Amino acid sequence: MTSQLYSGLAILTAGVAAIFMTGCGSGSGPSNSSDEAFVDSILSTLSLADKVGEMTQLTLGAIGTGEAYNLSEPQHLDSAKVRKVLVDYRVGSILNCGNHEHSPEKWHEFIEVIQEAASQKSSGIPVLYGVDAIHGPTYTENGVLGPQQIGLGATWNPAVAKTAAKNTAEQVHALGIHWNFSPVLDLARDPRWPRFWETFGEDPYLVSEMGTAMVEGYQYSGVPFAATLKHFFGYGFALSGKDRTPAWIPERQMREYFLPPFAKAVEAGAMSIMVNSGEINGVPVHSSKFLLTEILRGDLGFDGVLVTDWEDIKYLFTRHMVAENYKQATKMAIDAGIDMAMVPLDLDFSNILMELVNEGEISESRLDQSVRRILMMKKKLGLFESNGLPPSLDAYPAKEKFESAAARAALESITLLKNEPKDGATVLPIMGNKKIFVTGPTSNSLNALNGGWTGTWQGTDTAYNTVGRPTMVESMVMRLGAERIEHMDLGMDFSDQEIQRVVRSIQRQRPSHVVLGLGEMPYTEMVGNIEDLELFENQKNLVKAVHATGVKVVAVFIEGRPRTFDEIEPMLDAVVMAYLPGDYGADAIAQVLDGSYNPSGRLPFTWPRHASAHLTYDHKYTEQIHVNFTLEGFNPQYEFGAGLSYSSTAFSGLKTDRAAYGMNDTIIVSVTIANTGERLTNELVAVFSQDKVASITPSVDRLRHFQRVILDAGEETVASARISVAELGFINRENKYVVEPGTFGIRVGNEIVDIEVFQKNK
């Protein structure tokens, strides 16, 4: 049997011109003439104040009772604030959640009050509400929360990402919210970066495929719903590794690595994009006409809504120091191409923008460009037809409809990285009926499983956890039986004395396995900045002490980035990476540990062995030079794409349909995959290419295609891929996309074949 490798739309074939040259894509999909006529008819009636209002976005806290960051509970909207913001200032967009999640009933209350007020302003244009529902309806009580993006990336399955987005869209739309600030298309190139876990991984092609699938899930879900691509662009490549700090990215690297995911998602019709809060090469992105207009609008052809991140226009003069005051900062941002300002707490932006137009510093026709885009987005989302009012609560979807997909996504993400033989068998799965000792700081925490943007922004408040969802140890009790599980709670700051208590318990009970829940507790953005990528010292000490007891040790990492642990890795008999798998992740972990599920996740990033020696899989040849002048400099703990299962597979017979190709040809690659084990397995087939000689130093490997292939025990199949020669190119010294003739390697697993590419077709 033959399995066609998943390829999606080839980013460097039909899309080459749109991505890197003149740009002819459509950022929000085709607009029909009736929509355009409708929008133009409304725009022609708007006053300057109406237009400025449409370009202004405030947070829910700005119109709630009490202080913005300390709203009165239970939360309600302040009628005077609502009138001032929505009627007097005509603000066109509201975002966020007022600091924590709400019931669907409360969301309906908010949306109805907001839209009723919007109907009273002179234009009557409904408000566009936005929220960060990044792994399910994150700010809704008892919403179905699946894996964070890094976990979805570990599935290497665009269909899983698409379903997750579709289910999120249906649940969030039912609240009366039509705009989601997701997906993140930043690359996970530096694990120090605290938003690493919000990405799909380190590779542009993987991020492109998964991100596009998520856009399609959001926007073609059967309900009117908009995706937002974040964060345009280079946000995650800060030189310091810390959030919102400067990035140094030459234009060639920008076009080679960081633009393709956005280009692919723009081509798929993404309706909006959020701007990188940081700066690139000394220029804050919010002030760069080159990046936001020439590159994004021109080269990529984006014609949707471009929104700032939180307070970022103001930061041009309070943080970046490129503007003298708010007025100069506002002019910079609007001139650069911003459509909507996430203010988010005051109305100074509106007043200043009015002044700038009245003084002739910004033309009203420039505002018309942005307002037309905003109105078109509102039209496509059906706000004019529904007046922005939410659907009936009676039709609110039951969570049971979405739970199996979230649980499946969690299962497919869990990645087995090490599984050593001991006492005649591999340590996992856990067999027999002996006792199992479970401990570690993440072993009994639902917050750890979910991460940030869950119930609250930082995801740390247990008061907003989903009722009834289990922690890892609770799921192990349910799966393996309470009589087999002994647990000892440890907080993140556990002491040496507590470690000794653990050791004494292990020595007394002599369990067959000790399962350690290691990793991090939730964080996001600047709160997650770190000074050291090493795993916490007390966690390493815990491993050392438990290892000394002689019991089999299994580490389950529940974390959003790879913390380095080379010192203790040899002391661990098995290593499982769970990422941030969500509310259904505990049961997924338990199923992998007891063997109910054969693990299939694969790393979407390279796990560094040492904190200061991180290289991505697509490094350059010179980066392999080691201190002893050998080519052993690339020595990660686990490589990109790494992952084991309980049923071994083997690749063989890699071949191409011929040995030489012209520039317009398609390479047909095939490889035999055999499941040599005794269980059904879900294997990753990833196809890489190597440019042997190029005018720009080539990477040692570049991912070109991937697919999941399911094989029964003992089954063998041939997987095939069609790779356009046009996909083998790079950005050259003139910042143009080229494919150069020469020798290329094609790799699947350890199998490699060489091909020749000629300037002309043969």
Could you tell me the CATH number of the domain that includes residue 266? 3.20.20.300
* Mean pLDDT for the stretch of residues 355-366: 98
* Mean pLDDT for the stretch of residues 299-320: 97
The answer as to whether 3 is a domain residue is no
Backbone angles phi, psi at 479, to 5 degrees: -80, -45
pLDDT at 256 (0 to 100) = 97
Nearby residues of 210 by Cβ (< 8 Å), 6 or more positions away: 149, 152, 153, 158, 161, 183, 200, 201
The answer as to whether 470 is a domain residue is yes
The answer as to whether 19 is a domain residue is no
**Mean confidence (pLDDT) of the chain:** 94
Q: Are 577 and 410 in contact (CB under 8 A)?
A: no
pLDDT at 542 (0 to 100) = 98
pLDDT digits (tens, 9 = 90+) for 654-671: 999 999 999 999 999 999
CB count in 10 Å sphere of residue 401? 12
Of the two residues 295 and 29, the one the predictor is more confident about is 295
Nearby residues of 359 by Cβ (< 8 Å), 6 or more positions away: none
Cα 284 to Cα 228, 237, 287, 312, 316: the distances in Å are: 20, 14, 6, 9, 7
Angle between helices 472-480 and 585-594 (to 10 degrees): 50
Looking at the structure of the chain, the number of domains it has is 3
pLDDT band at 491 (very low <50, low <70, confident <90, very high): very high
**234 pLDDT exceeds 60?**
yes
Q: What is the Cα–Cα distance from 672 to 655, expressed in whole angstroms? A: 9
Q: What is the Cα–Cα distance from 556 to 377, expressed in whole angstroms? A: 44
Q: Are 124 and 554 in contact (CB under 8 A)?
A: no
Alpha-carbon torsion 97, 98, 99, 104, what sign?
negative
The answer as to whether 637 is a domain residue is no
Beta strands (DSSP E) in 564-643 are 574-577
pLDDT at 634 (0 to 100) = 87
Q: Are 745 and 728 in contact (CB under 8 A)?
A: no
Q: Are 580 and 560 in contact (CB under 8 A)?
A: yes
Q: Which residues pair with 638 in a beta bridge?
A: 607
**729 pLDDT exceeds 70?**
yes
Q: Could you tell me the two tokens for 322? A: 């490129």
* Mean pLDDT for the stretch of residues 105-129: 97
Residues 345 and 456 in one domain: no
- Between strands 742-748 and 681-691, the pairing is antiparallel
Q: Could you tell me the two tokens for 551? A: 């019991």
pLDDT digits (tens, 9 = 90+) for 527-550: 999 999 999 999 999 999 999 999
pLDDT digits (tens, 9 = 90+) for 492-532: 999 999 999 999 999 999 999 999 999 999 999 999 999 99
Residues 389 and 445 in one domain: no
**19 pLDDT exceeds 80?**
no
Backbone angles phi, psi at 647, to 5 degrees: -140, 110
**Domain termination site, one of 395, 425, 455:** 395
The answer as to whether 633 is a domain residue is no
Q: Is 582 in a helix, a strand, or coil? A: coil
Q: Are 741 and 757 in contact (CB under 8 A)?
A: yes
CATH code, 573: 3.40.50.1700
Candidates 716, 571, 568, 564; CA nearest to 653 is: 716
Q: What is the Cα–Cα distance from 235 to 384, expressed in whole angstroms? A: 35
Residues 747 and 657 in one domain: yes
Q: Could you tell me the two tokens for 48? A: 């300057």
Q: What is the Cα–Cα distance from 316 to 288, expressed in whole angstroms? A: 11
Residues 583 and 484 in one domain: yes
Q: Are 274 and 186 in contact (CB under 8 A)?
A: no
pLDDT band at 630 (very low <50, low <70, confident <90, very high): confident
CATH code, 734: 2.60.40.10
Residues 429 and 380 in one domain: no
Q: Could you tell me the two tokens for 47? A: 């006053």
Q: Is 737 in a helix, a strand, or coil? A: strand
Residues 302 and 369 in one domain: yes
The answer as to whether 14 is a domain residue is no
Candidates 617, 672, 682; CA nearest to 644 is: 682
Residue indicated by tokens 């203010």: 343
pLDDT at 761 (0 to 100) = 57
Residues 348 and 410 in one domain: no
DSSP state for residue 391 in the 8-state scheme: P
pLDDT digits (tens, 9 = 90+) for 33-44: 899 999 999 999
CB count in 10 Å sphere of residue 468? 7
Q: What is the Cα–Cα distance from 108 to 448, expressed in whole angstroms? A: 30
Q: What is the Cα–Cα distance from 459 to 740, expressed in whole angstroms? A: 48
DSSP string, 318-333: HTS--SSSHHHHHHHH
Q: Could you tell me the two tokens for 383? A: 């706000």
* Nearest-5° Cα angle at 597, 594 to 601: 115
pLDDT digits (tens, 9 = 90+) for 262-278: 999 999 999 999 999 99
* Nearest-5° Cα angle at 584, 420 to 519: 50
Amino acid at 717: T
Report which secondary-structure segment, H or E, holds 271.
Answer: none
pLDDT at 327 (0 to 100) = 98
Q: Are 426 and 163 in contact (CB under 8 A)?
A: no
Q: What is the Cα–Cα distance from 27 to 31, expressed in whole angstroms? A: 10
pLDDT at 423 (0 to 100) = 83
pLDDT at 760 (0 to 100) = 73
pLDDT at 146 (0 to 100) = 98
% of residues, the chain, pLDDT over 70: 96
DSSP state for residue 638 in the 8-state scheme: B
Q: Are 706 and 687 in contact (CB under 8 A)?
A: yes
Candidates 715, 443, 451; CA nearest to 582 is: 451
pLDDT band at 30 (very low <50, low <70, confident <90, very high): low
Residue 196: domain span: 31-395
Q: Are 637 and 572 in contact (CB under 8 A)?
A: no
Q: What is the Cα–Cα distance from 298 to 302, expressed in whole angstroms? A: 7
Residues 238 and 172 in one domain: yes
**Domain termination site, one of 374, 395, 416:** 395
Q: What is the Cα–Cα distance from 381 to 177, expressed in whole angstroms? A: 10
Residues 431 and 549 in one domain: yes
Angle between helices 585-594 and 400-413 (to 10 degrees): 50
pLDDT band at 424 (very low <50, low <70, confident <90, very high): confident
Q: What is the Cα–Cα distance from 582 to 584, expressed in whole angstroms? A: 5
Residues 386 and 458 in one domain: no
**627 pLDDT exceeds 90?**
no
Candidates 45, 22, 668, 739; CA nearest to 368 is: 45
Candidates 152, 147, 281; CA nearest to 582 is: 147
203 is catalytic: no
The answer as to whether 22 is a domain residue is no
pLDDT at 14 (0 to 100) = 33
Annotated active-site residue in 132, 309, 339, 691: 309
**8 pLDDT exceeds 60?**
no
**118 pLDDT exceeds 50?**
yes
pLDDT digits (tens, 9 = 90+) for 64-96: 999 999 999 999 999 999 999 999 999 999 999
Q: What is the Cα–Cα distance from 44 to 258, expressed in whole angstroms? A: 38
Cα 94 to Cα 60, 71, 237, 308: the distances in Å are: 6, 16, 30, 13
% of residues, the chain, pLDDT over 90: 93
Cα Rg of the chain (Å, integer) = 26
Residues 308 and 381 in one domain: yes
Q: Are 689 and 707 in contact (CB under 8 A)?
A: no
Residues 555 and 667 in one domain: no
The answer as to whether 701 is a domain residue is yes
**Domain termination site, one of 339, 361, 395:** 395
Q: Could you tell me the two tokens for 523? A: 């964080």
